[in-house]
Amino acid sequence: MKILVCISHVPDTTSKINFTDGDTKFDTNGVQFVINPNDEFGLTRAIWFQEQQGASVTVVNVGGADSEPTLRKALAIGANDAIRVNAEPTDGFFVAKQLAEVAKAGNYDLIIAGKESLDYNGGMVPGMLAALLNINFVNSCIGLTVEGTTAKAVREMDGGKETMSAQLPLVIGGQKGLVEEKDLRIPNMRGIMTARTKTLTVLEPVAADQASKSVKFEKPAAKQAVKLVSADNLDELINLLHNEAKVI
């Protein structure tokens, strides 16, 4: 089984976020980048298939040379090889188009993407990728097994879970639950050294329309100062909740 894992290069959630050029561009200065958490769950599941069923695992990213450390980390975790499409991921459709070309060329059985990236939270790429490839798609996937050419997937839905089967090839949009957090891999020294010798192929992008663009970014409003009310002043508390907070 050949598996392609789509990797997004996203800011660490602890990073301080700022914008430049009149709040139209994200400021990357001083920001630590990591593997998108939803993608990391997918990568860990792919490595499980590698260990249990002899699958080959390729990771792919659409991005500049600055994303290569993230791909090298994925290789250190256990992926067999990596592909970087040399283009700025400006738009969900553009990214899906690039990934679709890689998937077609590699003839993969299973394509694992995170259901969304934690920077733009668009949630568009996995579904568009499946549509461009005209193959089966399961989103919000929290469980996956494969036997022969049949996959059994569990997806999260409002109020519960749904179990379904699908024939390969298949695209899934994975998330937390696809593996347990305790099962996520931390690269060891051997993996880090081995990653240096693994193939990282750089491809030039194919032509694709940019279907959307970011016009402006805006930070959430700063938190207001906390008002403390004496425990024995119930009337004041009710007044504040009613007239200021307007929650009662």
What is the chain's pLDDT, residue by residue, as a tens digit (248 residues)?
Answer: 999 999 999 999 888 888 898 888 888 888 889 999 999 999 999 999 999 999 999 999 999 999 999 999 999 999 999 999 999 998 899 999 999 999 999 999 999 999 999 888 888 999 999 999 999 999 999 999 999 999 999 999 888 999 999 999 999 999 999 999 889 988 889 999 999 999 999 999 999 888 888 888 888 888 878 888 888 888 888 888 888 888 88
Strand partners, 173: 113
Residue 13 is given by DSSP the state: T
All structural domains of the chain? 2-219 (3.40.50.620)
Q: Which helix (H) or strand (E) holds 143?
A: strand 136-147
Do 33 and 10 touch, CB atoms closer than 8 A?
Answer: yes
* pTM reported for the whole predicted model: 0.86
Query: Could you give the residue ranges of the DSSP H alpha helices within the chain?
Result: 37-53, 68-77, 92-106, 125-133, 189-195, 234-243
Strand partners, 33: 11
Q: Which helix (H) or strand (E) holds 61?
A: strand 56-63
> Which residue, 136, 58, 68, 140, is CA-closest to 103?
58
